[in-house]
Amino acid sequence: MTATTDGSTGATLPPRAASASETDITTPAAAGVQEAAGRAVRRATDFLLARQDAQGWWKGDLETNVTMDAEDLLLRQFLGIRDEATTRAAALFIRGEQRPDGPWATFYGGPGELSATIEAYVALRLAGDAPDAPHMAKASTWIRERGGIAAARVFTRIWLALFGWWKWEDLPELPPELIYFPSWMPLNIYDFGCWARQTIVPLTVVSAKRPVRPAPFPLDELHTDPADPNPARPLAPVTSWDGAFQRLDKALHQLRKVAPRRLRRAAMNSAARWIVERQENDGCWGGIQPPAVYSVIALHLLGYDLEHPVMREGLASLDRFAVWREDGARMIEACQSPVWDTCLATIALVDAGLPADHPQLVKAADWMLGEEIVRPGDWAVKRPGLPPGGWAFEFHNDNYPDIDDTAEVALALRRVGHHDPERVDRAIGRAVRWNLGMQSRNGAWGAFDVDNTSPFPNRLPFCDFGEVIDPPSADVTAHVVEMLAAEGLAHDPRTRRGIEWLLAEQEPDGSWFGRWGVNYVYGTGSVVPALTAAGLPGSHPAVRRAVAWLESVQNDDGGWGEDLRSYKYVKEWSGRGASTASQTAWALMALLAAGEKDSKAVERGVRWLAETQCEDGSWDEPYFTGTGFPWDFSINYHLYRQVFPLTALGRYLHGDPFDRLLAAGGRPLSEAKGS
């Protein structure tokens, strides 16, 4: 078989594996595969246990792209607190991420991306890199060839406007009066996903204030025509949604000139209160870096000095997103994932055979129980009568627990032989009640909110980067269904509605779209175990179609992989990419749940995991297999390469984890009602 090329990017597609009909699938598992899997599990277990924090949690690095590092430097420049040591370390990391042809990508092996390249270039200029240095000249040439600053996304041009490198008048308007829109009104702040909401509210203040700090240098080299740096963009037809919203934006620019000043000041003050009320105990906002950055800027513009407790703690929280590397480079995480990593590690270790009452598992359970969120957050706007009970992704994010983490934490806690089972039961009961209460009208679940499906936010000229709404997804819905089945609720009408939605969402080829992981391999690896846990047999047509699809996209080396380009070029890249440990594990978890343990595909996948494991029990995985916004914002979760292979290998060796818990004498998941 020969590799093919995706002409749009020049990236090489791996050859497809031979179909099931082309291979001998009747051959029993080769001798030694079980032994190899057992050795891999023992080493991976030791590796993971050695990396648990003394408090009980696990957290791997969360790697994204250099815009985090560039914007951190730009923030410090704007506030007047940029120092040489931080700048030098950030620049070292940014330079190391540049592609040989000049630009920066947003994921490993990906194509150059214009906005990321502009922000990285400006950050290096701040660090003292000369525009005529070879690496800088390459970057600026690449930028100009693709339209220059004028072609960048809105968020990049906002950063440039803060220093006068772009005109505020040429940016979409975002009025602070938006804060007054009632929740039933289109384009109110709760129509946006929680991550967008937390960013947009402070940006309404920034948009209203239009601050400009003196630029430390010009950026003429990044314009296609320095004499006309802000060319007008063509309007879409007035009969189209895009055209309508472009004209709405023009009207808002005119409204700005006549808006009552008292109303605008009041709106900005209301926005400030909204921001301050949502600051977490650790000083951050929502546990993610972008809203924290914009919140600090907005409050500073409204008169909060840098020594104000809100500002001081906010800036301190941003320092905690920094990962210092051995070479002195400094990488900024967009977010931190301790709850997610800890529940996944707990599941992996128990499924791999670690005793359920192992002290480190009990410590992990204690930590997770202490992280439960028992007060209402923004989700209560749509569900005001629903009692709280869930978990967030991060260390501190009480305003935004998420449905996905809550389901996986419940699955993890139910596996642990805890010394206080009643406490565990109560926490899981609250989680089940909250997740059921967060079910959307169509029977599925989103990540943070209920029915967050308005078609309007994505149409705004301001929202030209990534997802800004939070509709239900197959992967989150699958995790909830799996949790409900584990709690004895497989036949509950609400669970059945979720199952029906999942079956309707299956792609014609047998796969499922993955919203929060890459991509169809992740979606399928999430849905099939959920369906079988809820009672669908391995012979069900939907399960058989999923198995056939997974077999058809298995790589020749035995592993599975999927490149992020599948979000943009579905036909060419669905289920295609270099084999990775995490994606191979997802495929194996689906195949094992479907009853395919003795299949040739499973044997080859297990062998690939065993043979690619490092001596210390880890796996290498430079590829990004996590998703923030499909295609636009990608994540390399550094612990994915550990927890998912260990889970898959453990299930290969020990079978269904529910049955194993029962055989071990622990409380079986099937008896827990959680209501």
Pairing of strands 626-629, 633-637: antiparallel
How far apart CA 415 and CA 667 sit, in angstroms, is 8
DSSP 376: -
Instruction: Write out the DSSP string of 173-221.
Output: ---GGGGGS-TTSTT-GGGS-HHHHHHHHHHHHHHHH---PPPSS--GG
Q: Name the residue with tokens 């195949």.
A: 591
Confirm if 159 and 116 have CB atoms less than 8 A apart.
no
Residues, the chain, total? Answer: 675
From residue 585, give the alpha-carbon distance in Å to each of 13, 15, 19, 539, 581.
21, 20, 20, 22, 6
* Amino acid, res. 582: S
Which residues contact residue 336 at a Cβ distance below 8 angstroms, ignoring those fewer than 6 apart?
A: 59, 62, 287, 320, 321, 394, 395
* Amino acid, res. 666: G
Which residues contact residue 185 at a Cβ distance below 8 angstroms, ignoring those fewer than 6 apart?
A: none
Confirm if 532 and 538 have CB atoms less than 8 A apart.
yes
- Least Cα distance to 120 among 111, 129, 107, 110 occurs for 129
Confirm if 111 and 74 have CB atoms less than 8 A apart.
no
Catalytic residues: 404
Residue 6's Cβ-count burial label (10 Å; 0-12, 13-18, 19+) is middle
Confirm if 576 and 562 have CB atoms less than 8 A apart.
yes
